[in-house]
């Protein structure tokens, strides 16, 4: 709709925020039953802004099972979560656990998410099909994700399809994260283990908006990738390269490099 594409609607504002009734209706549409029947409290329904995403993710990822003699219903999942209410109370921890498990259980899926992160959340599918364009990046990603370096790029493209409507969405041939919070969690999970790959290959916007140097006091909010001291030199080498490439303005927009004019 044109009105939605041309206007910014802040869903945190009271007049736009989902009411409890709205949330109950959304929950009902995904689970085909009431939230109380599944052991979800009203408090849990109201807890997080990304409520439709939680419903979508949990309804696709978890299988509800009923014990004839017990209630409420419980759920089964790979991370041993057995209470659906826990997901709605602490979704970030659950998402983080799920994404971390991909690193071991489905390294190709994890690799696709990492590639999407490195492209700042906008990965053209053609870049999955023409590996020569980003040969060094793919080689390093294969290595840190535990993939055989001879893995056909077509395989990653096929895996990307299975992630669509779960972690990713596709718009005009470009893969994007289905929600900002998924990108946030992938950035933290991957950044904890491979800050060197972030510094070497990530889009400059990822470096500027998500990367911080450890042990430098900075007032900031949100999910950040903290770079340990032994990689600080790599951080500044990357910034120097960006300046040489004409991206000085972006570089000095980094919150730890801002120039405050007196």
pLDDT greater than 90 at residue 241? yes
Choose the weakest-confidence range: 8-17, 28-37, 114-123, 217-226.
8-17
Mean pLDDT (the chain) is 80
Write down the pTM of the prediction: 0.74
Residue appearing with tokens 């990492």: 114
Alpha-carbon separation of residue 35 from 46, 162, 166, 202, 212 (angstroms): 12, 28, 21, 41, 40
pLDDT > 90: what percent of the chain?
Answer: 31
Write down the number of H helices and E strands in the chain.
15, 7
Alpha-carbon separation of residue 94 from 14, 75, 77, 138, 232 (angstroms): 27, 13, 10, 28, 31
- How many Å apart are CA 109 and CA 103, to the nearest integer? 8
> What CATH number belongs to 90-193?
1.10.10
In terms of average pLDDT, the best of 5-14, 39-48, 189-198 is 189-198
Residue-wise pLDDT tens digits, 192-227: 899 999 999 999 999 998 998 886 666 655 678 899
Domain definitions of the chain by residue range = 11-69, 90-193, 204-262
Residue-wise pLDDT tens digits, 108-151: 999 999 999 999 999 998 877 765 778 889 899 999 999 988 88
Give the gyration radius of the chain's Cα atoms.
21
Please tell me the chain's helix, strand, coil percentages from 3-state DSSP, rounded to the nearest 5: 55, 10, 35
Residue 146: predicted pLDDT: 92
Residue-wise pLDDT tens digits, 63-113: 434 333 333 333 344 444 446 777 777 777 778 888 888 999 999 999 999
């Amino acid at each position: 709709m044109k009105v939605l594409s041309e206007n910014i609607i802040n869903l945190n504002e009271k007049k736009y925020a989902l009411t409890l009734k709205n949330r109950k209706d959304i929950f009902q549409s995904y689970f085909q039953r009431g939230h109380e029947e599944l052991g979800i409290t009203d408090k849990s329904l109201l807890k997080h802004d990304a409520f439709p995403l939680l419903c979508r993710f949990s309804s696709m990822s978890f299988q509800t099972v009923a014990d004839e003699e017990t209630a409420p219903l419980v759920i089964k999942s790979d991370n041993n979560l057995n209470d659906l209410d826990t997901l709605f109370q602490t979704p970030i921890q659950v998402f983080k656990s799920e994404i971390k498990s991909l690193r071991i259980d489905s390294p190709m899926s994890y690799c696709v998410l990492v590639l999407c992160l490195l492209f700042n959340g906008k990965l053209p599918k053609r870049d999955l099909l023409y590996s020569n364009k980003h040969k060094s990046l793919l080689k390093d990603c294969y290595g840190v994700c535990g993939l055989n370096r001879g893995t056909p790029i077509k395989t990653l493209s096929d895996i990307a399809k299975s992630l669509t409507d779960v972690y990713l969405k596709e718009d005009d041939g470009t893969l994007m994260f289905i929600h900002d919070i998924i990108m946030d969690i992938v950035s933290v999970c991957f950044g904890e283990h491979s800050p060197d790959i972030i510094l070497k290959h990530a889009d400059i916007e990822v470096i500027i908006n998500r990367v911080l140097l450890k042990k430098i006091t900075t007032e900031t909010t949100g999910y950040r990738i903290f770079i340990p001291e032994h990689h600080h030199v790599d951080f500044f080498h990357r910034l120097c390269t960006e300046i040489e490439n004409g991206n000085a303005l972006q570089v000095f927009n980094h919150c730890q490099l801002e120039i405050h004019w007196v």
